[in-house]
Amino acid sequence: MKTIPQQIVQEKFYRKLPGGKIKCLLCRHYCELKEGKTGVCGVNKNENGRLVNLVYGRVAALHIDPIEKKPLYHFLPGTTALSLGTIGCNMQCSFCQNWQISQEKTIYQKDFVAPEQIVYLALKYKSKTIAYTYNEPTIFYPYARDIALEAKKYGLKNIFVTNGIESVEVVKDMAGIIDAANVDFKAYDEQYYRRELKAPFSVRETLQLMKQAGLWVEVTTLIIPGINDTTEHLEKIAGFIANKLGTETPWHLSAFHPDYKMLDKPVTPVTILEKAYETGQKAGLQFIYIGNVGLRKNITYCPGCHKPLIERMGYQILQNKITDGKCPYCQTKISGIWN
Ligand code: SF4
């Protein structure tokens, strides 16, 4: 397979080590790669002492999605995001819902999709945003970054849907390039991250760094019965969001459905999601949403006067009363990016 120039990663995202090795700086694994080797993700490789991103321009999934599907509820509601992913991932979750591409090893070589072509498609289909999603975008950050910079020229915004193990270097680089992120906070348990997901527990620091970098951040927790559904555990996540990110940070509670290798757990009962919702409320979170449970109304209430402001059914907006970023009844500012 011939390396194309675009696949060679900028030197600020890797470091040369003695003996021809390099250290990849794209995610928290910080893989040290010998000549010819790829890292945990399988898509970043040491070729002649340079880091090569093998999936640059190799799109495995491309769709136009409602922004509510990411999910981002406080970011340009009612608009669409041109959404793309490649193959590969830096985690190995047994419950992955996109395992067909995230755990795929063969890189589809036939078509190269240049950043300009992605932006062209976003403009053609009138998407306001480009979403880096489906698999973990950190592992194709060099590609996402080039698309994002091109997209900025046309006033488009860029969003990451991520597992939160970006490197410090990548998150700092996102400032002014990536506008928003939905970050999976899968568990408040270092052992669980290391043992089950084969990944470092760095999501808390990533979230804080993203806020410092100026990104609009929403958090998602997939609640799996018997794994992470105790009140004590959910209190820790909700408390972290409230105390370290701010009570205005939306928290999405997502129902688990058996998939990939985790087929022995049941679908999350709505009662558990509602219990988690109450836990979030007690922690002081202002915006909590239940998702992945079929058609269900999800409402954004004004934290000032408690009137309903945005009503959604599934991914559809039924009504949006937010005006100039404020509640029209009591003028409370509603946190989010509204236009
Ligand atoms: S992106 Fe992460 S997993 Fe992949 S090579 Fe770099 S440090 Fe390793």
| Residue range 61-110, pLDDT digits in tens | 999 999 999 999 999 999 999 999 999 999 988 878 888 887 777 887 77
Minimal-distance CA residue to ligand 1 atom 4: 41
The pocket around ligand 1, CB under 6 angstroms, is made up of 24, 26-27, 29-31, 39-41, 44, 90, 139
Atom in ligand 1 nearest the alpha carbon of residue 139: 1
Residue nearest atom 5 of ligand 1, based on CA coordinates: 39
pTM, two decimals, is: 0.96
- The predicted model gives 294-320 an average pLDDT of 94
Residue-wise pLDDT tens digits, 160-192:
999 999 999 999 999 999 999 999 999 999 999
Closest by CA to 170, choosing from 10, 41, 8, is: 10
Q: 10 Å Cβ neighbour count for 230? A: 13
Residue 265 C-alpha to ligand 1 middle, in angstroms? 30
In the numeric block, the tokens 């390396």 are attached to 3
Distance between Cα 23 and ligand 1 center (Å): 9
Whole-angstrom CA distances from 133 to 140, 257, 316 are 10, 19, 20
Residue of 103 and 230 predicted with greater confidence: 230
Q: What pLDDT score does 1 carry?
A: 66
To test the ligand 1 pocket, which listed residue (13, 29, 135) has its Cβ within 8 A of the most ligand atoms?
Answer: 29
Name the residue with the closest Cα to ligand 1, atom 7.
30
Q: What is the pLDDT of residues 11-65, one digit of tens each?
A: 999 999 999 999 999 999 999 999 999 999 999 999 999 999 999 999 999 999 9
What is the enclosing helix (H) or strand (E) of 118?
helix 115-124
